Amino acid sequence: MSKADSIPFFKPSFTSEEEEAVLRVLRSGWLTTGPETLALEKEFAAYVQSPYALAVNSATSGLLLAQQAFGVGPGDKVLTTPYTFISTATSAVHLGAEVVYADIEADGFNIDPQAIERALTQNTAIKAIIPVHIAGLPCRMSEIMDIARHYKVRVIEDAAHSFPSKTKEGWAGNLADAGVFSFYATKTITCGEGGMICLNDQQASERIKRLRSHGIDRTIWDRYTSNKASWLYDVTEAGWKCNLPDILSAIARVQLTRAEEFRAKRAAICAQYTKAFTENPITRELIEPPPEGEGHAWHLYLITLQSDRIKGTRDDFGRMLQEKGISISMHFIPHFSFDWCKKRYNLNPNDFPNAKRRGNNTLTLPLWPEMREDDVNRVIEAVISTSKAMIRSRP
């Protein structure tokens, strides 16, 4: 099957509005962080009802800066799960901290609050917890926050998958001390690369503003537009280069206005997938559909194969789908499988039975808002026919 006939894993949705936004910035002559980024921050803060929203060049940078602003550093530990993107963990390591891992829940992909509590009783150096709303389904945040307050640790939500996601408790990414969103190329809204940190702590917010721009105490836009001498600035501490340029912010501003439309379309496609896989007698036996729940942003659609019912492996299943022209992905390869993590922490995968099971048996199906009905049907048919070929009959 040629690449052209394949169903991609993701396609961004852009209109002439995003194109015009880029042209507006190019024609303005101001390319780096400036008025578009300030406007994006204001609009994003209003959307998730957060006092402060700070644009950064990736969620990875956002995770790093939020931890640094809360004082994470050498000698500290940061708790997360092995079932997430690698930078959830490596962002702590870059600050001189070490990672402690807790397993995910048996019936989902998010961190298990009980495993958090066990880790906190065993490890007094834990300074922050990073729960990850995998695929866009919010973690059990009120339980996590109760535990965190009891042990006096900070909570930074990795909300890379969960925009827009609203629960009774509020917007995911605004349910803890800080939340970090991603605008990476395949995310729910995108400008290619980018991220946003939301928080309600003014001091931490001021520090992040400096840290994201070399530790400089005035933004370049402030220096350009203010009456004070534009060439003068101070450097208050060693910072990074993590600002979001206006070209990207202009795209993100348009995408923000379309976020709910995108979410609704993805949710409808996911409902179609789940209906098809639970109604078909073969896929009902072989495939565990993803968990549902309040406020799901439906960034990704993860299926888990029942390991006792499959002939062969998840990778064989994935290859068969690819041969049928269906692009797939894997969220996530657990950290304990990576060479980096083996060398640094030498974890035993059996200590994380839920992450191990998902890591061996899960794959991600194509999902994007403009998927056409026949794209969705082709994915469903390919999953059903592959399941027919790969199901093991009951002994």
Ligand X SMILES: Cc1ncc(COP(=O)(O)O)c(C=O)c1O
Going from the C-alpha of 217 to that of each of 4, 62, 213, 367, the distances in angstroms are 50, 18, 9, 42
The answer to whether residue 187 is catalytic is yes
Classify 383 as helix, strand or coil.
Answer: helix
Other C-beta atoms within 10 Å of 309: how many? 16
Among the listed residues 77, 127, 166, 187, the single catalytic one is: 187
Q: Which is nearer to ligand X, 280 or 337 (CB)?
A: 337
Q: Which stretch binds ligand X (CB under 6 A): 104-112, 156-164, 230-238, 247-255?
A: 156-164
Decide: is 297 part of the binding site for ligand X (CB under 6 A).
no
C-alpha angle with apex 228: 226 to 234, nearest 5 degrees? 105
Which residue of 147, 160, 178, 391 would you call a contact of ligand X, by CB under 6 A? 160
Classify 113 as helix, strand or coil.
Answer: helix
Classify 99 as helix, strand or coil.
Answer: strand
* Least Cβ distance, residue 130 to ligand X (angstroms): 9
Give the contact letters, 299-338, x = binds to ligand X (CB under 6 A), - = no: ----------------------------------------
* Least Cβ distance, residue 88 to ligand X (angstroms): 5
C-alpha angle with apex 194: 127 to 45, nearest 5 degrees? 75
- Count of residues touching ligand X (by CB under 6 A): 14
Q: Which amino acid is at 160?
A: A
Which residue of 33, 50, 84, 249 would you call a contact of ligand X, by CB under 6 A? 84
Task: Please state whether 152 falls in left (phi above 0), alpha (psi between -120 and 50) or beta.
Answer: left
Q: Which is nearer to ligand X, 47 or 85 (CB)?
A: 85
Kindly identify the residues of this chain, within the stretch 39-78, that bind ligand X according to CB under 6 A: 58-60
Residue 286 corresponds to which tokens in the numbers above?
A: 């072989």
Give the contact letters, 114-143, x = binds to ligand X (CB under 6 A), - = no: ------------------x-----------
Which residue of 44, 47, 85, 336 would you call a contact of ligand X, by CB under 6 A? 85
Q: Which is nearer to ligand X, 12 or 276 (CB)?
A: 12
Task: Please state whether 166 falls in left (phi above 0), alpha (psi between -120 and 50) or beta.
Answer: beta
Please identify which residue in the block is written with the tokens 């870059």: 94
Give the contact letters, 176-215, x = binds to ligand X (CB under 6 A), - = no: ------x-x----------x--------------------
Decide: is 92 part of the binding site for ligand X (CB under 6 A).
no
Please, what sign has the CA dihedral across residues 47, 50, 56, 61? negative
266: closest CA among 114, 338, 183, 371? 371
Decide: is 245 part of the binding site for ligand X (CB under 6 A).
no
Distance CA 63, CA 85 (A): 12
Question: Contact at 8 Å (CB) between 141 and 395?
Answer: no
Question: Contact at 8 Å (CB) between 292 and 332?
Answer: no
Q: Which stretch binds ligand X (CB under 6 A): 1-9, 79-87, 103-111, 282-290?
A: 79-87
Distance CA 190, CA 168 (A): 26
Q: Which is nearer to ligand X, 89 or 371 (CB)?
A: 89
Q: Which is nearer to ligand X, 81 or 361 (CB)?
A: 81
Decide: is 158 part of the binding site for ligand X (CB under 6 A).
yes
* Least Cβ distance, residue 141 to ligand X (angstroms): 16
Q: Which amino acid is at 128?
A: A
Residues assigned a catalytic role? 187
Positions in the binding site for ligand X (CB under 6 A): 58-60, 84-85, 87-88, 132, 158, 160-161, 182, 184, 195
